[in-house]
Every structure is written in structure tokens, then in C-alpha cells.
Structure 1
Amino acid sequence: MKILTRLQRFWLTVPVLCAGLWAASQWWGKGLAHPVGTPEISPNGCYRVQQFQPFWLLPGFFHPKAFPDPEADVHWFVRWEIPAFFRLYDHRTGQLIGQSEIYDLVNAGGPLSWGWRDFPTVTAAMIEIGPNLPDCIGDQPG
């Protein structure tokens, strides 16, 4: 039976530690995120949208950068300028309705849209945050 040398054990352990650190950083990105600024409340008071900055253990360079278009490629090892995601709440009850993925706001962000009858979804430019509630489509209480 061959015993691994200390150097061999080190080189076998490093990839496992790096993969574990990356996975933890991806998971904690949303789990330990902190809010940015004040939440935006819809005109009729149905919804509240809060922007969050992800909590990454690793620099953004190590996190894949996607674009809201599902057909767009995911890019690795690129610079993030303003990584963020949004959470949509029912402002009347405080219940979480939806949450976006993490995107770079410089490329994909923009003004909020509270949805309308033909497209009942709250968005920030191209970023879909969550669905409208049946009793408040397009921020028009029913």
C-alpha cells in the first residue's frame, strides 16, 4: 500500500477546498445578502421591491455573469460593475412573492415596471422579479 506524500495530499486537497469555497460563495450570495437603499413601493401600495447586493466570499471575477435573455451565453472570469438582485414583496402582508437572479445592473438594470394585464410581471428593465398577484395586476387593486 502506497502512502501519499504530504505534497500529493496538498494537491489533492486544494481543488476540493476551492470547489467548496466557490459553492459556499454562490449559495451565500443571496442567503446573506444585504439590502441596498430604500425599497420602492408601487403607486397603489400593492408591492414593495428591495434591491440587494450579493454576499460573495470570492471576488466577483470568480462568479459567472449571465444576461437576462435565456438565449445569451453565460460568461466566466469577467468584471462585475454592480452585481445585484431584487426581491418582490406583497406590501400589504410583507410576504415574499418573487426574487430575481443576480445580474449586473449596468448591463441589464433599469426602471421598475409594475406589470400590466398582458404581461403581469414586475420587472426592472429586462430583469424579471416576480409575478403580479391576482388581486393586484399592474398595481391596480381588484
Structure 2
Amino acid sequence: MKRLTRRQRFWLCVPLFCAGLWAASQWWEKGLAKPVGAPDISPNGCYRVQEFQPFWLLPWFLHPMAFPDPEAEVYWFARWEIPAFFRLYDHRNGQLIGESQIYDLVNAGGPLDWGSRSYPKVSAAMIQIGPHLPDCMGDQPD
């Protein structure tokens, strides 16, 4: 059996390295993210929403762009303008309730909606951030 040359081994390792870098980037983009601005507190003080900028080492065009609509197509090599994600906390004890995916705020973002009893979710326009807690069902009456 013929042994591989150094050059052949190198080119076999490149895809493995790229796959490992991609897998690691999926963790660190949220794990090492920085908060943007001050958090928003709900009117009744139950919830706190913080916006985060993802920590991207890879160029923006290597991150696929999805839209909040699950039926929408995911675009590769798309131009990101304001990549961000949100975390929803219980403002009374600081516990994390929910976290959104990373979206481009120019295409999918908007003002915060604290939800209601008939729509028990916190969102930023089309971006779902998290559910309401059973003991704090909404900031706006139906």
C-alpha cells in the first residue's frame, strides 16, 4: 500500500480543520458575545431583555442568514448589517428564560413586544425571544 505524501496529508487535514473551526464558532458566537446597550425592563418589572452582538471571528459572509419564518430559505454568503440576538431574563431573580437565534436586525428586528395573555411570548418584531412565566403572564391586559 502506498503512503500519502506530506502534501496529500495536508490537503486531507484542511477540511477537518475547517469543520472543527466551524463547529467551535457555533459555540463561541453566543458564548463570548458582548451585550449592546442597556437592558430593556418590562412595564410590570417581570422581564428583562438584553441585546447581544455575536462574537464572530470568521468573516460575516461565512455565516448563513436565516429569517424568523421557519419556511424561509437560509441564505449563504449574505451581507449582514446588524447581527444580533436577544436573551430574556426573569428580572426578579436574574434567571435566563429564553434566547433567540442570531438574526440581522435590519431585516427581522423591531420594537419589543412584551406580549399578552392571548399571546404569551416576548418578541422583537418577528424575532421570538422567549415565553412568559406562569406567575407573570403579561404586561398588557387583553
Q: For 2:138, what is the secondary structure of its paired residue? A: helix
Instruction: Give per-residue Cα distances to partners, 1:26-52, cap 9 Å, x unaligned.
Output: 221111111011100011111000000
RMSD: 1.3
* Structure 2, gaps ≥5 residues long: none
2:2 corresponds to 1:2: yes
Contact 1:123 1:129 in 2 (8 A): yes
Q: Which residue of 2 aligns with 1:105?
A: 105
Q: Which residue of 2 aligns with 1:25?
A: 25
Tell me, in whole angstroms, the C-alpha distance in 1 between the residues paired with 2:103 and 2:121.
18
Q: Using structure 1 for the length normalisation, give the TM-score.
A: 0.95
Tell me, in whole angstroms, the C-alpha distance in 2 between the residues paired with 1:25 and 1:9.
24
* Structure 1, gaps ≥5 residues long: none
Contact 1:26 1:56 in 2 (8 A): no
Q: Which residue of 1 aligns with 2:75?
A: 75
Q: For 1:64, what is the secondary structure of its paired residue? A: coil
Amino acid at match of 2:18: C
Q: Which residue of 2 aligns with 1:65?
A: 65
Amino acid at match of 1:98: G
Q: Using structure 2 for the length normalisation, give the TM-score.
A: 0.95
Amino acid at match of 1:85: F
Tell me, in whole angstroms, the C-alpha distance in 1 between the residues paired with 2:138 and 2:70.
24
Tell me, in whole angstroms, the C-alpha distance in 1 between the residues paired with 2:116 and 2:26.
33
2:88 corresponds to 1:88: yes
The CA deviation at 1:57 is 2.1
Residues matched between the structures, number: 141
Contact 1:26 1:63 in 2 (8 A): no
2:51 corresponds to 1:51: yes
Tell me, in whole angstroms, the C-alpha distance in 2 between the residues paired with 1:117 and 1:101.
24
